[in-house]
Chain A
Amino acid sequence: MGTLSERILGGTAGEYVDCSINRAYVHDGTGVLTLEAWKNMGEKGIQDAAHLYVLFDHIVPANNSTTAVLQHELREFACSSFLQFSDIGGGICHQIMSEGVVLPGEVVVGADSHTCTLGAFGAFATGVGATDMAAIWMTGETWFRVPESVGIHLSGTLSGASEAKDLALTYVRRLGMDGATYRALEFIGEGTAALPMDDRLTLCNLAVETGAKAGMFYADEVTVQYLAGAGHEVQRQEPEPCTYQKEFDFDLSDIVPVIAVPPRVDTIRPVSDLVGLPLDQVFVGTCTNGRYSDLARFARIVKGRKVAVRTIVVPASRAVLQEAIRTGVLADLVDAGCTIGTPGCGPCLGAHMGVIGEGEVCLSTANRNFKNRMGIGGEIYLSSVATAASSALEGEITQPEVS
């Protein structure tokens, strides 16, 4: 009995529990502070290094000497302490963990807010800060308040040019930026079965934009098949009777292409309202929409044509890049005039590359459009991949083509 969170964490909503952590990861940004906190705690050892990961993705390759020195220190530590390590070019931490690492029923923490992405596998996955992570390195466990859950009932199927990203932005709009604070989202209903794993990852990725602690799908046949492809034999998770604090219904066939307008993720407009808005940059990538299926969709639309605005495509991982090379998608993107970045977070956080200038407008497939995030005085609009592709071809916001 109970919600998926209650079953995995072993408690009832509202209760405080101590949990062993199955997998814990940091990236080059939060890892630096984690290492500092761990040292300040007295360097009392590392618990179960085989399940601790250090995955460089935020500023890759290093952009200056300061970053290089910080990364060097973290790299040396990760290797000498036998933590699982992925250097520059390996890809985004959440993506790497989604490529056959995280399994249903696990408790996963990452020192990054978008760790909730991995709830797509029926794991309880949530973001923590660096100091919490340092304590987890030391003890292998942490405390949680078992969250209340919000049921997101899905029915129907996506149609036309609508994507999981459009549904994600639509549910964030409906719940609001703090609509699920301290709670877990559970995506349920007959509409879930037809959603491939990449769509589930996109939907869970945006959970934190409603304040949620986690966004979760029950492991089903899609999960079993996906993980079988990575060599794991896993069981389905059957929903059991449980209590949701709130419930929302979404008919996927009603979802239309939308855009989140700056500076809030929960302020959306139909693409049709914004057609003609001039763009300075298009960015395709991130833990939201940088997977192979996203790159392939973008390539199908731009293939044989030229983008009319500078367009940066950043694969979410090396595996994504390799697949794009193998299938010719990468060549199609380059031929269409796109610039390809090192697998990682790319310009999303405005720290090292693809920064936009004052007064510039970027259409991005990422998950945040906060003020100045990608550059001081620049504005970020968030959309699906198809909307980004059609818009890149025109140099202005354009209705997405069905790819």
Chain B
Amino acid sequence: MQGKGRAVCVGADIDTDQVIAGRYLRTKDHTIWVEHIFEDLDPSLARRMNGAVIIAGKNFGCGSSREQAAIAIRESGVVAVTAPSFARIFFRNAINVGLPLIECHLPCTEGAVVMFDFAEGWVETQGKKYPVKPLSPRMQEILAAGGLVNYMRTCR
């Protein structure tokens, strides 16, 4: 899997309440999550999600197990999320909904081009390549299928 997007920088320890607040969870309408994504962190972020690669600090996605957080990011048009570390439930959720995650410590300049290639195991920004920690074989298969729903439809 390869991808390319513009960097959007966020801080460390971004919890899933900040990705999508509890007050917007009681719906199956994904457009509501897209509309209110990161509202409590920075309401202007929602407009910059399409085509973005989010470059986050450590422990991205901590807190609640709400899968709406991963869905909101994917549905907003985010290409991938990078962070030095992810909270584990968010990590599984993201792969399960087909959102690529890149475990890597990257410098972030707002709007800089970020490219990645999972097969070759690198991510590149501002003229420098960084190695990417590979996903487990199972997670690679799930991501390649476009998420766990497709994986279960086709593989089981």
- Chain A partners chain B: yes
- Chain A residues near B (Cβ < 8 Å): 16, 29-30, 32-33, 36-37, 40-42, 44, 59, 64, 66-67, 70, 111-113, 127-132, 134-135, 138-139, 143, 145, 177-178, 181-182, 211, 213, 264, 349-351, 368, 370-373, 376
A185 to chain B, nearest CB (A): 13
**Partner among A131, A132, A134, A373 whose Cβ is within 8 Å of the Cβ of B22:** A373
17 further contact pairs, Cβ within 8 A, besides A30-B67, A177-B62, A376-B40: A33-B28, A33-B67, A37-B148, A67-B26, A70-B26, A113-B65, A128-B92, A129-B89, A129-B92, A129-B93, A131-B97, A131-B148, A178-B59, A181-B88, A349-B22, A351-B23, A372-B17
Report whether B138 and A211 are in contact in the complex, using a CB–CB cutoff of 8 Å.
Answer: no
Near A by CB (< 8 A), chain B positions 133-156 give 136, 138, 147-149, 152-153, 156
Report whether A181 and B65 are in contact in the complex, using a CB–CB cutoff of 8 Å.
Answer: no
Report whether A178 and B26 are in contact in the complex, using a CB–CB cutoff of 8 Å.
Answer: no
- Determine the chain A residues whose CB is within 8 A of the CB of B26 once the complex forms: 29, 59, 64, 66-67, 70, 351
- Determine the chain B residues whose CB is within 8 A of the CB of A376 once the complex forms: 40
- Bound CA–CA A40/B67 (angstroms): 15
Identify the closest chain B residue to A33 (Cβ): B67
- Bound CA–CA A37/B67 (angstroms): 11
- Bound CA–CA A67/B22 (angstroms): 13
- A29 in contact with B66 given A211-B87, A350-B23 (CB within 8 Å): yes
Report whether A131 and B18 are in contact in the complex, using a CB–CB cutoff of 8 Å.
Answer: no
Query: Which one of A29, A36, A130 has the greatest number of beta carbons of chain B within 10 Å?
Result: A130
Q: Tell me, yes or no, whether B63 is within 8 Å of chain A by CB.
A: yes
Identify the closest chain B residue to A212 (Cβ): B88
B42 to chain A, nearest CB (A): 11
Query: Which one of A41, A127, A129, A135 has the greatest number of beta carbons of chain B within 10 Å?
Result: A129
